Amino acid sequence: MREKTVLVTGASRGIGAAVARAFANAGYRVAVNYNTSKTEAEALAAQWPGQMLPVQADVADRAQVEAMFRQVQEAFGGVDVLVCNAGIARQELFTDVTPAAWQRMLDVHLSGAFHCCQCALPHMLHQKWGRIVTVSSMWGQVGGSCEVAYSAAKAGLIGLTRALAKEEGPSGITVNCVAPGVIETDMMAAFSANDKAALAEETPLGSLGSPEQVAKAILFLAGDDADYITGQVLGVNGGLVV
């Protein structure tokens, strides 16, 4: 098989950027999706000239996602591995969630994965091989207070992962999910140092996670060592949820 191509959504920073770096280091060609963070995505891609390609799309927008897949197809010849990582977070009481905020949460996390998976599948089905990894959250597993919309979207992503794994398994495509715990990225910016220290203390392994630790799990699920694993949710949470 030719060198594999991975498309990582929301890869301009945080977990997505760590995933892009991990795959590039492992020899994959990497399409680095961004929505508005063009400068960051281009700066990342510039470190792997010819091997990384920054590609713009709001994953919630079907037309933009289709255009992005066409761009990757032209440059790299089809997506073999898809990592649905793009996400947004909002902490607020359920009673304060507006219909627009609720809809945007579902659009980015769940519809974003729907659009990307549908666009990725024709190439994977044609070659009878593909790897899809979705990025959910421990809140999608157990539910988070003041994170109802986020938890619902992330739980939906787990449902999508499991059902799609069953449907596409016979075609040589695996679909798995990672469910990170508390990972030190911009998404945690709203948390105070005291909050973070308390969360670290609560975590059996004694610290918050790093984007690189999540990236290693995703690289594993896309690799040959995971060739009999599909439909699974792998917690990367230091034991916070067991």
Using CB under 6 A as the criterion, which residues of the chain lie in contact with ligand NAD when the complex forms? Answer: 9-10, 12-16, 33, 35, 37, 58-60, 85-89, 108, 135, 137, 180, 182-183, 185-188
Conformational region of residue 46, where left means phi above 0, alpha means psi within -120 to 50, and beta covers everything else: alpha
For ligand NAD, give the closer residue by CB, 60 or 219: 60
Catalogue the active-site residues. 150
Conformational region of residue 5, where left means phi above 0, alpha means psi within -120 to 50, and beta covers everything else: beta
CB of 24 to ligand NAD, least distance (A): 16
For ligand NAD, give the closer residue by CB, 9 or 174: 9
CB of 67 to ligand NAD, least distance (A): 13
Contact 114, 82 (CB under 8 A): no
For ligand NAD, give the closer residue by CB, 125 or 241: 241
CB of 131 to ligand NAD, least distance (A): 18
Beta bridge partners of 236: 180
Contact 77, 123 (CB under 8 A): no
Contact 40, 16 (CB under 8 A): no
